[in-house]
Amino acid sequence: MAMKKSATPSIAAAGGCTCLRLRKATRGMSRIYDSFIAPSGLSGPQFSLVSSIAGSPDITISELADRLMMDATTLTRNLQPLVRQGLIEAKAQPQDRRVRTLRLTSAGLKTLQTARKLWRQAQDYATAQLGPDAALLNSILDRTLEKLRTLEQAR
């Protein structure tokens, strides 16, 4: 029995899904960065977390989640391996034990120093591969993120 074709093309086939395009581009770019950063023991997303914490010691989980546009529960789950590895510490605050602040440990700082060198290589490689499109892509993404932050705050 022949299957009936749908009269409506799939979103992917129609090429109209911005979210799908972004997810595919993110996966492809993540593979590049992960391959460069792997010798540090961090994945690309872990590098982003460690870097963000290093830039804002004693940041709370909710502040970091807002900055990274992540759900706090997802962020907490992603932080757990870094805590277990001894790269970051999460301390409960005396005034409110439910609030935890994040800080890199000395091992975390050392790992970050190694990873930053590898990240720089990944960044240079990705920029070279994208050519002039790299600056354009970053500009578009920066504007998009700003718009998304504004939309999120308005909800």
Q: What is the CATH number of the domain that holds 103?
A: 1.10.10.10
Residue 72 maps to a domain: yes
Q: Does 11 fall in a domain?
A: no
Tell whether the model's pLDDT for residue 29 goes beyond 70: yes
9 inside domain: no
Q: Is the pLDDT of residue 118 over 80?
A: yes
Q: Does residue 3 lie in a domain region? A: no
pLDDT tens column, 32-54:
999 999 999 999 999 999 999 99
What burial class does residue 54 get, using C-beta atoms within 10 Å of its C-beta: 0-12 exposed, 13-18 middle, 19+ buried?
middle
pLDDT bracket for residue 10 (50, 70, 90): low
pLDDT reported for residue 154: 80
Report the domain count for the chain.
1
pLDDT tens by residue, 57-77: 889 999 999 999 999 999 999
Helices (H), 38-96: 44-55, 61-68, 72-84
Asked if residue 13 is part of any domain, the answer here is no
pLDDT digits (tens, 9 = 90+) for 79-100: 999 999 999 999 987 777 778 8
Residue 138 belongs to domain spanning: 18-154
The answer to pTM > 0.85 is no
Neighbours of 71 (CB within 10 A): 10
